[in-house]
Each structure stands twice: as structure tokens, then as C-alpha cells.
């Protein structure tokens, strides 16, 4: 029922079309660029909803022009009511909301920004994570604390292992290099490397990724791994301390 179409935007952003075939409702997640997104939306001749994970301009820049052209409704988190352009529907933490016959749950994942959310379509096992969780990485901590970001990632980590993850950027290659630097013995990571290279060399997006794979390969979800703690010289540290150290190292990687 749920068709997801990936739209590469700007230099490395992803916007996503969600088409609910049953009700013929069309939504877009984080429209980064009006023209690029509209070229895809045009095929559907309509756009019912715009879903924003957070307020950053590279996730909301298409909002107003798309809304004007298609009379779409814009959905975002209540904390961002003054920061998301054209917002119509204010979402709350843990709320369930229907778009057509599809239903998502709002997962509040602050850290990158104060009002960041993920859209979790629980029946379809699909989650749009914006700039919270990336394939093999996580977002920079801009408006929150490292602890908030760590807790946010753990919320996503608790979803079913076969959940498909669609994130906000094609950062997978540089994230891979960082993971390999501090988790060099990880055989799952070596397998994932082959898959990533194959996709990138044929100009395919590395999305979606699967949560179960991320748990085995994404260093930011592996803060309790003894090998990683050892590599960082933090063998007696808490998971949050390990996460903070990794995030700082990645910032300057």
C-alpha cells in the first residue's frame, strides 16, 4: 500500500514521497528544494501533506511554494510552531496520526534540534528519521545535549529490527569511514561496506537501511561494545560518555 519514492536534493539531501495507493493520498517528507521536489510531485498531480522532521532550511525550503501550488497541509512538531514555515497541524510526542489509510506515530528525538521528530509508520515498519539517525551515523548535536541525542537514538533502536530507515542525508560513505576507524574488527561492517560501494558506484541511494543492520554496524548504536570502548580508551565509561566521545570525534573527523 505504501510506496516510498526517494528524491535526491541539493548536494546530499533526501526528500521522500509517500504514496498511499489505497486512498491515493500523496505526502512529502522534508522537501529540501521546490523545483526538484515538484518535478516528482507533478507526476501525482497533487500533494496532500508535507511532513517536516525539523525546522532546518534544507528540510523545509520547499514548504511554502509546494503548499501554495497544491494547497497541501504542513505537519510538524508543536515545539517548532514558530520555526516551520506554513505549519498547519501541530503534532505531539507519541501521538498517532493518519494520512489517508496510513498511520504514523510521532517519535520525539531531540538533540540535533529541540523539536526534532521521526515519523514511524508502525504497520509498514518504516521510519523517517531526518537528521537524528543516519545510516552508520547520527546528526550533529546543535540545540540539545549529547545525552538527549543518545536517548533519542535509543528510542529508534527499540523499534522492530526489520524496520526500514529513511534518513535526511547521503552521508553514508563518510559515516562508514568513521565507523571503520574505531570499529575495525567488525565483520558486519565489512559486509556493509561492499553493499554501500556497490550502490554508490551505480549512483543508487544507500536508503533505506534496516535497523537490525544499523545495530550491528552503526557505531553510535554500539556504545556498550567492549571493542569500541577499548579503542577509545573508555573501557569503564558509561554508554553516554562513550557516545559523547564518539560524537566529538566525528565532529572533527
User: What per-residue confidence (pLDDT) applies to 101?
Assistant: 96
Q: Note the maximum CA span of the chain.
A: 57
User: What per-residue confidence (pLDDT) applies to 163?
Assistant: 98
User: What per-residue confidence (pLDDT) applies to 87?
Assistant: 98
The packing angle between helices 63-70 and 34-44, to 10°, is: 30
The region, left, alpha or beta by phi > 0 then psi within -120 to 50, assigned to residue 24 is left
Contact at 8 Å (CB) between 89 and 78? no
CA–CA distance, 190 with 179 (Å, rounded to integer): 10
Section 79-91 average pLDDT: 98
**Residues classed as catalytic:** 54, 56, 58-59, 112, 131, 169
**Residue 142 in grid coordinates:** 546543535
CA–CA distance, 144 with 140 (Å, rounded to integer): 10
The band of 183, judged by pLDDT with boundaries at 50, 70 and 90, is very high
Per residue in 236-248, pLDDT (tens digit) is: 999 999 999 999 9
Per residue in 110-134, pLDDT (tens digit) is: 999 999 999 999 999 999 999 999 9
CA–CA distance, 34 with 61 (Å, rounded to integer): 7
Q: Which residues contact 10 (CB under 8 A, 6 or more apart)?
A: 32, 33, 36, 58
Per residue in 205-231, pLDDT (tens digit) is: 999 999 999 999 999 999 999 999 999
**pLDDT > 70: percent of the chain:** 100
Distance of CA 125 to the CA centre of its chain: 14
Please name the residue that has the C-alpha cell 521510519.
127
Contact at 8 Å (CB) between 50 and 66? yes
Per residue in 31-80, pLDDT (tens digit) is: 999 999 999 999 999 999 999 999 999 999 999 999 999 999 999 999 99
User: What per-residue confidence (pLDDT) applies to 198?
Assistant: 97
Section 180-200 average pLDDT: 96
- Mean pLDDT, the chain, integer: 97
The band of 204, judged by pLDDT with boundaries at 50, 70 and 90, is very high
Long-range CB contact pairs, 190-195, < 8 A, 24+: 192/136, 192/217
Amino acid at each position: 500500500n505504501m510506496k516510498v519514492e526517494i528524491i535526491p536534493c541539493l548536494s546530499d539531501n533526501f526528500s521522500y514521497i509517500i504514496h498511499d495507493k489505497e486512498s491515493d493520498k500523496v505526502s512529502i517528507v522534508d522537501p529540501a528544494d521546490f523545483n526538484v521536489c515538484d518535478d516528482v510531485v507533478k507526476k501525482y498531480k497533487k500533494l496532500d501533506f508535507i511532513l517536516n522532521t525539523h525546522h532546518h532550511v534544507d528540510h523545509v525550503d520547499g514548504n511554502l511554494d509546494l503548499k501554495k501550488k497544491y494547497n497541501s497541509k504542513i505537519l510538524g512538531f508543536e515545539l517548532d510552531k514558530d520555526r516551520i514555515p506554513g505549519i498547519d497541524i501541530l503534532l505531539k510526542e507519541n501521538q498517532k496520526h493518519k494520512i489517508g489509510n496510513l498511520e504514523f506515530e510521532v517519535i520525539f528525538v531531540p538533540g540535533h534540534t529541540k523539536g526534532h521528530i521521526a515519523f514511524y509508520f508502525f504497520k509498514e515498519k518504516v521510519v523517517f528519521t531526518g537528521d537524528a539517525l543516519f545510516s552508520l551515523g547520527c546528526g550533529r548535536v546543535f540545540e540539545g545535549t549529547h545525552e538527549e541525542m543518545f536517548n533519542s537514538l535509543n528510542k529508534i533502536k527499540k523499534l522492530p529490527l526489520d524496520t526500514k530507515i529513511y534518513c535526511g542525508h547521503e552521508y553514508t560513505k563518510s559515516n562508514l569511514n568513521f565507523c571503520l576507524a574505531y570499529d575495525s574488527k567488525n565483520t558486519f561492517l565489512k559486509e556493509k561496506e561492499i553493499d554501500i560501494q556497490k550502490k554508490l558506484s551505480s549512483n543508487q541511494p544507500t536508503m533505506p537501511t534496516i535497523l537490525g543492520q544499523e545495530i550491528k554496524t552503526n557505531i553510535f548504536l554500539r556504545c556498550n561494545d567492549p571493542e569500541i570502548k577499548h579503542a577509545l580508551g573508555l573501557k569503564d565509561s558509561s554508554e553516554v560518555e562513550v557516545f559523547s566521545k564518539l560524537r566529538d570525534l566525528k565532529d572533527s573527523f
